[in-house]
């Protein structure tokens, strides 16, 4: 209709064009997308948590936490977390990087995964209590990394996906896999392409979501580098809601994308900032942690945890990030919630784990 009215004067056309543009923009992401902008980024919403308890959890032998992006809660309300071997890499280390922690005290119960990982990143505990870790880098000697490894709770390797130390696409390789999650039927979903956030990433950089059967057989993949629906710039974290929808934290595009489990694009939400981690509880309450927003890359948005609904996308609470010497502050990259409603965050910049007690 607009194309047929080119002879209309500008003063008469502008209001109609603006109205149609607004309607079109609102329709692009579905009616559930909220019109939260940089001027209303959820920062004035209530914070239902008391002061954060930094360094909540201890490591074996009192050693120092390295960087982490992975924290998960298991089927028996147990806490698992990743430590990148006291620093930000496990390449060449003999330390076990995956830890089971006492929920009440934060003390270590056991540690697993020694010698298996280079850059342990994503962490998932399935319904049987098995532990899945995505390894988002390759070792210097090319013998480890770029894999997803499934472990028993005692650390026995049960499955490997990808080719150790080799980056790539297709069914047999990963390109810096950032996270992994399993569906109720056991199918496995992997967020692949961590460095897609790099503005210098080449157009053919492999970044996607990959689906496997529960026994590790390749089913399908979708996505490529870009900012359109179904495209990614760093699919960083995954979660599945009660309706069987897959939520992908498309961090560098400052949005979540929502798909069905066959990869059909359903919606995209920008009201949760630049999400690095996501947790959806049994009632579909959604917790998204933003470790990445800054005045430079996302003006007007702050780091912290935005809490809302996976059903309609409404954000109802905001937990601010940590104050640091950096004016942008800091926040973790992974987030979970226990049965009592307490929050736990895996800290990449500040390192260690933070507990936020429910008021």
Structure confidence by residue, pLDDT tens digits, 140-170: 999 999 999 999 999 999 999 999 999 999 9
pLDDT for res 40: 64
Distance CA 92, CA 109 (A): 24
Note whether 159 and 134 are within 8 A (CB): no
Dist CA 88 CA 96 (whole Å): 14
CB 345 within 8 A of CB 353: yes
Which pLDDT score, from 0 to 100, does residue 8 have? 34
Q: What is the pTM of this model?
A: 0.90
Question: Does residue 10 carry a pLDDT above 90?
Answer: no
The answer to whether residues 238 and 246 touch, using CB atoms and an 8 Å cutoff, is yes
- pLDDT tens digits, 28-71: 444 344 444 544 688 999 999 987 899 999 999 999 999 999 99
Measured CA to CA, the distance from residue 10 to residue 192 in angstroms comes to: 47
CA 280 to chain centre: 11
Q: Which domains does the chain have, with CATH numbers?
A: 41-356 (2.120.10.30)
Judged against a pLDDT cut of 80, whether residue 17 lies above it is answered with no
Mean pLDDT, all residues of the chain: 91
> Quick one: CA torsion of 19, 21, 27, 31, rounded to 10 degrees?
-40
CA 287/CA 279 separation, integer angstroms:
5
Centre a 10 Å sphere on the Cβ of residue 45 and count the other Cβ atoms it contains.
16
Which tens digits make up the pLDDT trace of 289-329? 999 999 999 999 999 999 999 999 999 999 999 999 999 99
Give residue 219's Cα distance to chain centre. 22
């Amino acid at each position: 209709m607009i194309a047929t009215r080119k002879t209309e004067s500008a003063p008469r056309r502008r209001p109609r064009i603006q109205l149609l543009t607004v309607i079109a923009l609102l329709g692009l992401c579905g009616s559930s997308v909220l019109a939260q902008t940089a001027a209303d980024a959820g920062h004035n919403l209530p914070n239902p948590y008391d002061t954060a308890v930094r360094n909540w959890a201890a490591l074996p032998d009192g050693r120092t936490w390295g960087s982490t992006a992975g924290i998960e809660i298991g089927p028996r309300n147990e806490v698992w977390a990743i430590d990148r071997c006291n620093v930000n890499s496990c390449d060449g280390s003999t330390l076990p990087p995956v830890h089971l922690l006492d929920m009440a005290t934060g003390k270590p119960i056991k540690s697993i995964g020694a010698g298996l990982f280079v850059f342990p990143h994503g962490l998932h505990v399935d319904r049987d209590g098995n532990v899945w870790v995505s390894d988002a880098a390759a070792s210097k000697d090319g013998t480890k990394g770029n894999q997803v490894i499934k472990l028993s709770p005692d650390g026995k390797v049960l499955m490997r996906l990808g080719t150790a130390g080799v980056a790539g696409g297709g069914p047999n390789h990963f390109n810096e896999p950032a996270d992994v999650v399993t569906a109720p039927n056991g199918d496995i979903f992997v967020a692949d392409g961590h460095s897609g956030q790099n503005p210098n990433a080449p157009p053919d950089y492999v970044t996607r979501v990959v689906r496997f059967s529960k026994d590790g057989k390749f089913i399908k993949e979708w996505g490529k580098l870009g900012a359109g629906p179904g495209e990614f710039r760093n699919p960083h974290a995954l979660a599945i809601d009660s309706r069987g929808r897959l939520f992908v934290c498309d961090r560098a595009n400052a949005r979540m994308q929502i798909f069905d489990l066959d990869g059909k694009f359903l919606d995209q939400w920008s009201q949760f900032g630049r999400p690095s981690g996501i947790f959806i509880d049994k009632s579909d309450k959604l917790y998204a942690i933003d470790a990445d927003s800054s005045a430079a890359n996302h003006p007007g948005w702050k780091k912290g945890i935005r809490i809302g609904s996976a059903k309609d996308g409404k954000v109802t609470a905001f937990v601010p990030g940590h104050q640091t010497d950096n004016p942008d502050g800091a926040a973790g990259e992974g987030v979970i919630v226990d049965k009592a409603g307490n929050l736990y965050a895996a800290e990449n910049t500040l390192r260690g784990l933070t507990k936020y007690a429910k008021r």
